[in-house]
């Protein structure tokens, strides 16, 4: 059971102050069946992934695989693949697995729900199993062999669960560091030995500064949702980790995201070896074409009634809905309002205690709550079975956030739908970007939205190209499409992909 203890103390003004609880998360289940019961199997549209254009640039990229068994030899991992419901690799997996197993640094771009986490976990775990290094049980400063950095607690927790699924029953030890939880508990867990360490930047940097972890044995540095890590100002902490005196220069660095704009690539490249590979799958910046996207013109005063109407118009009573809002206050208010209208609703945002955040996601994942109201803390990486509808009650200011929000449904070939409320007073700034996203994913664009968008575009879509000069590589095949990228006709539409951290 998770444990927490909220403490009350008297502040300088004489008022009671509630301190954050000392939180110890629930342990992951030891029964393997429990780890797979909420896995998302491939959907009806999974075969459409075969038609996504793929481009791998960089010198001498390895050939892509067509089956997991061509790259994964470990029987335990092959069993994990089967039990997870994976029948064949997705495009990102076809190219990333052989690239990582060949020792190359990689910057990988693929749309939401395309299997990026498995694309790096499977080859990393296999290589660590083959190397058979000790986990350094009981040492006060743990020396992980792989560090995975994620921008939000929720994404870190999900990666940890997937890594645990890959390693349960083996000698590979997995641990996690993130804010809002007991430091002493996390340190005790680390002392049992750590091969793979997943964490958020703040807590990782804290443990590194106290010499509770060392990078001297590091073989793999993975930045998941790398663009978010860069955009949100975590680069100083990542630089601290990457350039720490204990960090080997010969490590392998892997970066994954759905969006890698040119300016992000420039920053990201400083962590990669010069001969890194750049892998682009589909139309980067486009939303998932398995998701039917609808934009409605809704005045602020009409939002609640329209939301209630949408929630009552659900064909499957067992389906789940995520409602995105811009502020924490709105999240709490809307969750309370919906609960009073007989909608089983919970909420997640940065002001909730960590125990509350994890309980909300657990209730939503298990189906005890059918509606989750969330800020952008939940917009990236979350992979929850049964999410059939995403509603943007408030549109975000940034188009990348929209793409990631929409990507919470329509995972791995499953159909989904997304409904967005557009308010002319607050959302004009995103109008032109929104029109382009809808067109790229072959969605209907309302005439009124096109009118709003005229002359307001400031975002460049389809930024799938490697920013480096091909002449740097002195290689005739540099920049050529990956071997199987022309094996199928161009698709009608590209498929889509896929908080705050503190101490």
Q: Which helix (H) or strand (E) holds 246?
A: none
- Per the listing, tokens 């792989």 go with 146
pLDDT given at position 479: 40
Written as six digits, the tokens of 503 are: 């101490």
Tell how strand 54-57 and strand 174-177 pair up: unpaired
pLDDT given at position 293: 94
Distance CA 22, CA 353 (A): 10
Distance CA 31, CA 16 (A): 43
pLDDT given at position 12: 56
Sorted by sequence, the CB contacts under 8 Å of residue 329 that are 6+ apart come out as none
Give the residue among 226, 218, 221 at the shortest CA–CA distance from 267: 226
pLDDT given at position 7: 47
pLDDT given at position 168: 93
For the domain 291-453, what is the CATH code?
A: 3.40.50.300
**DSSP category for residue 213:** B
Distance CA 48, CA 407 (A): 16
**Phi, psi dihedrals of residue 423, rounded to the nearest 5°:** -115, 125
Q: Which helix (H) or strand (E) holds 416?
A: strand 416-422
Distance CA 353, CA 6 (A): 10
Written as six digits, the tokens of 272 are: 């990669």
On whether the CB atoms of residues 432 and 397 are closer than 8 A, the answer is no
**Cα torsion angle, 330, 331, 333, 335, sign:** positive
Residue with more model confidence, 10 or 319: 319
Residue 259 pLDDT greater than 80, yes or no: no
pLDDT given at position 10: 52
Q: Is pTM beyond 0.85 here?
A: no
Lowest mean pLDDT among 34-48, 313-327, 410-424: 34-48
Sorted by sequence, the CB contacts under 8 Å of residue 401 that are 6+ apart come out as 376, 379
Residue 383 pLDDT greater than 80, yes or no: no
Q: Where residue 72 falls among pLDDT bands split at 50, 70, 90? A: very high
Distance CA 183, CA 40 (A): 32
Lowest mean pLDDT among 7-11, 159-163, 277-281, 437-441: 7-11
Bridge partners, 56 (sequence order): 279
pLDDT given at position 413: 58
Domain definitions of the chain by residue range: 65-281, 291-453
The interaxial angle of helices 303-312 and 328-340, nearest 10 deg, is: 50
**DSSP category for residue 271:** G
Distance CA 371, CA 245 (A): 47
Tell how strand 345-348 and strand 371-374 pair up: parallel
Distance CA 203, CA 351 (A): 18
What three-state secondary structure class fits 478?
coil
**Phi, psi dihedrals of residue 223, rounded to the nearest 5°:** -110, 105
The predicted model gives 372-395 an average pLDDT of 86
Q: Which helix (H) or strand (E) holds 459?
A: none
**Which CATH superfamily does the domain covering 65-281 fall into?**
P-loop containing nucleotide triphosphate hydrolases (3.40.50.300)
Highest mean pLDDT among 92-96, 227-231, 248-252, 464-468: 92-96
Residue with more model confidence, 254 or 12: 254
The predicted model gives 480-499 an average pLDDT of 36
**DSSP category for residue 97:** H
Distance CA 96, CA 204 (A): 26
The predicted model gives 337-359 an average pLDDT of 92
The mean predicted confidence, pLDDT, of the chain is 82
């Amino acid at each position: 059971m998770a444990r927490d203890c909220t403490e009350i103390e008297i502040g300088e003004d004489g008022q009671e102050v509630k301190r954050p609880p000392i939180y110890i998360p629930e342990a992951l289940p030891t029964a393997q069946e429990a780890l797979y019961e909420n896995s998302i199997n491939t959907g009806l549209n999974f075969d459409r992934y075969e038609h996504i254009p793929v481009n791998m640039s960089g010198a001498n990229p390895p050939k892509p695989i067509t089956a997991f068994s061509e790259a994964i030899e470990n029987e335990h991992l092959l069993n994990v693949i089967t039990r997870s419901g994976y029948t064949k690799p997705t495009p990102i997996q076809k190219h990333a697995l052989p690239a990582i197993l060949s020792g190359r640094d990689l910057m990988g771009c693929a749309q939401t729900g395309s299997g990026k986490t498995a694309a790096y976990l499977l080859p990393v775990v296999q290589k660590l199993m083959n190397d058979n290094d000790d986990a350094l049980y009981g040492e006060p400063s743990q020396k992980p062999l792989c560090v995975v950095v994620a921008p939000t607690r929720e994404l870190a927790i999900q990666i940890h669960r997937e890594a645990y699924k890959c390693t349960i029953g083996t000698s590979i030890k997995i641990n996690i560091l993130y804010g809002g939880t007991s430091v002493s508990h996390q340190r005790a867990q680390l002392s049992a030995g750590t091969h793979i360490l997943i964490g958020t930047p703040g807590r990782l940097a804290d443990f590194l500064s106290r010499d509770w972890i060392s990078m001297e044995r590091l073989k793999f540095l993975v930045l998941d949702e790398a663009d978010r890590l860069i955009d949100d100002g975590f680069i100083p902490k990542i630089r601290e980790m990457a350039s720490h005196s204990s960090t080997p220069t010969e490590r392998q660095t892997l970066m994954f995201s759905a969006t890698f704009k040119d300016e992000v690539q420039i920053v990201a490249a400083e962590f990669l070896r010069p001969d890194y590979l750049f892998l682009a799958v589909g139309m980067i910046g486009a939303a998932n074409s398995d998701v039917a996207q609808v934009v409605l013109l809704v005045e602020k005063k009409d939002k609640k009634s329209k939301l209630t109407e949408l929630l009552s118009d659900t064909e499957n009573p067992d389906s789940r809905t995520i409602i995105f809002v811009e502020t924490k206050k709105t999240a709490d208010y809307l969750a309370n309002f919906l609960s009073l209208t007989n909608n089983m609703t919970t909420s997640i945002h940065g002001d909730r205690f960590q125990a509350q955040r994890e309980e909300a996601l657990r209730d939503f994942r298990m189906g005890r709550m059918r509606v989750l109201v969330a800020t952008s803390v939940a917009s990236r990486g979350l992979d929850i079975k049964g999410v059939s509808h995403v509603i943007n009650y408030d549109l975000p200011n940034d188009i990348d956030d929209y793409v990631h929000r929409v990507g919470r449904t329509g995972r791995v070939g499953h159909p989904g739908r997304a409904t967005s409320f557009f308010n002319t007073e607050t959302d004009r700034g995103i109008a032109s970007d929104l029109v382009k996203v809808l067109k790229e994913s072959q969605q209907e664009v309302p005439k009124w939205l096109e009118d709003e968008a005229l002359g307001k575009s400031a975002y460049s879509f389809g930024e799938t190209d490697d920013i480096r000069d091909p002449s740097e590589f002195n290689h005739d095949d540099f920049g050529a499409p990956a071997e199987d990228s022309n094996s199928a006709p161009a698709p009608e539409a590209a498929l889509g992909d896929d908080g705050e951290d503190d101490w």
